[in-house]
Chains A and B, each alone.
Chain A
Amino acid sequence: MAKMATFDRGIHPEYNKELASGKTITDAKLPQRVVVPVSQHIGAPAQPEVSIGDEVKRGQVIGSTSGFVSSPVHSSLSGKVITIADFPSTAGKMVQSIVIESDGKDEAVTFNEHPDYMNLGPDEIKNMIKEAGIVGMGGAAFPTNVKLSPPKEKKIDAVIINGAECEPYLTADHRLMVEHPKEVVEGLKIIMKSLGVHEGHIGIEVNKPDAIEAMSDVVSGEENITVWPLEIKYPQGAEKMLIRAVKGREVPSKGLPMDVGVVVQNVGTALAVYDAVRHGKPLIERVVTITGNGIREPANMNIRIGTLMSEVVEQCGGLVEGAVKVIAGGPMMGFAQWTLDVPVVKGTSGILVMTESEYVTSDDYTACIRCGSCIDVCPMGLNPSMLSILSEKEFFEEAKDYNLFDCFECGSCAFVCPSKRPMVQFIRLAKSQVKP
């Protein structure tokens, strides 16, 4: 194998992927009810299109877009709308949600199949992606069609599929690449088509050799698509780091991937794009890794959007004695949940349950000893030590001189800090106190 592509700095946490990496994707049981938040994405929330008492079918639009950067939501089962109210969400906020009780029939609306999907025009494709409510499924949940509609002056020449899955524990993308490599690649081709791009890349960390093999097999006949084995390093799957590794380009400070002519899409997103364009299927389910030492039976499950975590956890054998933390997403950037009665949403890549013995805290953090470890690992080339000290002392404006807003909160600094300082917390605090 040639020299592995990667980026500068970063960290090497324990990955613990073996808990779930061998588990074949299974379909979760049809939930009794789903709680579908109208805002599962970055941008304007969707507007509810249904009222209490309405009968809905699987795939039916229940919330429509309300602006360019927005995304519709669909019912993920058939049944009756029982309430529309604010419910807790994985991000910790209360979000307006449409609650649908299942009628057990799981009837679907008619999906428009497109066997000749590669003959569709870019605008048709983008429209289908928008109608299907597809958002970035790696966690950030940015509407995909917006990402595929860059301003004219930004010339895009490459699409990268993000199969790095650098978050420890998570294996959903890994399983998708192993079990559905063809569909992922077709999704990539559709994305390339929609952008008029002829260069496709797939970046995969080398801790997933079976995924690399499966994807390489599928693209073996495709001259313009390359599979890149990537060094195992966090945060390899961050957009900017991935572009640096694969294309050798640095997205300018405060810029976007399109500024260097690249669009990055997650593996799950590529699959959703394929399903939407080929089969006319909206984004109403996703693969989630349920893992960690706090769950009895780790799994990779295909889960209907809106299924409560409590139901999912139950299907995985429940929590073990001493399980203290449930995280939506991975351990580095995921959100700790205060209740299991939150729904799985489009951006939920994992449900990670950690036990008491694994619990880490910043409760007893001490002063920065200025060891410089955080500077050595920061993928953005920031000085997290200085940022944390300035924020701690409430010199928020000064933090901007140290490129505060270039931080994407990957948590590498907090991971290495010997003083156990809550670095991400300090940086978020500073960001909330000043304007970029």
Chain B
Amino acid sequence: MAEAKTHELVVSVSPHIRGKETVGRIMWTVNLSLLPAFIMSVYYFGPRAVYVTGLCIVASVLFEHAFQVSLKKKTTIGDGSAFLTGLLLGLNLPASSPFFIPIIGSFIAIVITKLLFGGLGYNIFNPALIGRAFLLISFPKLLTTWTEPTAKFIDMDAKTTATPLGILKEEGLVRLMEVFGSKTELYKSLFMGSTAGSLGETSAIALLIGAALLLARGYITWHIPVSYVATVGALAWVFGGEGLFTGDPLIHILSGSLILGAFFMATDYVSGPTVRKGQLIYGIGCGAITMLIRLKGGFPEGVMFAILLMNCFAPLIDRAVKPDLFGAVKEQKK
């Protein structure tokens, strides 16, 4: 007995074993899942993709570190979430963004949207999207100057052009067909990513490869992306054409930042609802607002505002929609 007493025993609350999942592992995996999209952005937009995205990442990480160190808090840059915010912000910017755009955007995203609200877990809005929304409103010209996706590794001055959604909005479907030659060519370009647009949004295939990784790991579920994309597709089909039920859903699904938004930004844990059934409502809401803006609003693209607006509803959805309680059905029957 005396021998046993020499041991110092630790008392803590159950459970006494834990799974291996950590916030860091999740965040770094999401970063990794965006690698294909980043590679495609470099392929199409050249060194400027590295420059803009890299600047966003460095600025985001530094802002977070500096803020926390200056407030004598523990730095959390190791968890990969500041890196992710920077990466997402970068992939949502045009290739031609001058240096101050990533820096201001990162400041708004990290310091204002995330840290001032209490840091990871407490932010109401998706930090990268608030950063981008701030930039779009403050520097509308710079944020809508699109370069052609023809990587020029030496010549930094690429020709400016319009995004497919921009053409669709300003000049119509006929003009869009003229630009790309045929519908098949248009789909192909949208799928591969050889269109103008934000750095990481153009290549649907690259984004879907990354999304597949997240789905396989269980880090995201189908609920938000599928309900979001399906709503956009359905509304595009019904209202997107000359008459009702004549629209082309595929153009709307593949263009703009819908794939990036539906799989990587609307699925942001902190700013979205947690209950799966509620996530369906959230996804449908995102889709409806996106199409409202695309078809009736002043901007050609509505993904960013749609997700931010639905962020506001996330807490309400979590209150209204609860998981199916075990034994609840029978209780009502009594």
- A residues engaging B (CB < 8 A)? 8, 11, 13-14, 92, 168, 240, 244, 250-255, 260, 308, 310-311, 313-314, 318-319, 323-327, 331-341, 352, 354, 358-362, 366-373, 375-376, 378-383, 385-386, 402-403, 406, 409, 411, 414-420, 422, 424-425, 428
Contacts and interface: CB of A to CB of B under 8 A. Distances in A.
Contact of B17 (A331, A338, A368, A383): A331
Interface stretch (B62-70, B163-171, B270-278, B290-298): B270-278
A307 to B, nearest CB: 12
B25 A418 contact: yes
B22 interface: yes
A325 B10 contact: yes
Contacts of A327: 16
Interface residues of B, number: 48
A252 B269 contact: no
Interface stretch (B99-107, B193-201, B254-262, B321-329): B321-329
Contact of B121 (A11, A240, A369): A369
A378 B242 CA distance: 49
Contacts of B120: 366-367, 369
A418 B22 CA distance: 4
Given A318-B4, A333-B15, 8 more contacts: A253-B328, A333-B14, A340-B5, A354-B16, A369-B23, A378-B323, A380-B325, A406-B326
22 contacts: A168-B17, A240-B327, A251-B327, A252-B327, A255-B327, A324-B10, A332-B17, A337-B11, A366-B121, A367-B118, A367-B119, A367-B122, A372-B221, A379-B326, A381-B326, A383-B322, A403-B325, A409-B14, A414-B18, A416-B21, A418-B22, A424-B14
A214 to B, nearest CB: 29
Contact of B323 (A318, A381, A416): A381
Contacts of B178: none
Given A409-B14, A424-B13, A253 B7 contact: no
Contacts of A244: 326
A354 B19 CA distance: 16
A361 B11 contact: no
A311 B3 CA distance: 11
Contacts of B275: 372, 375, 383
B9 A253 contact: no
A402 B322 CA distance: 8
B325 A381 contact: yes
B16 A369 contact: no
Contacts of A92: 11
Contacts of B221: 372
Given A325-B9, A369-B121, A420-B18, A318 B324 contact: no
Given A337-B9, A339-B9, A375-B275, A332 B15 contact: yes
B126 to A, nearest CB: 12
Given A338-B9, A370-B269, A319 B15 contact: no
Nearest to A8: B326
Interface in B209-224: 219, 221
A382 B323 contact: yes
Contact of A375 (B1, B122, B276, B327): B276
Nearest to A324: B10
A11 B19 contact: yes
Given A369-B121, A383-B323, A415-B18, A314 B4 contact: yes
B15 A311 contact: no
Contacts of B15: 331-333, 411, 414-415, 424
Given A250-B329, A415-B19, A416-B21, A386 B318 contact: yes
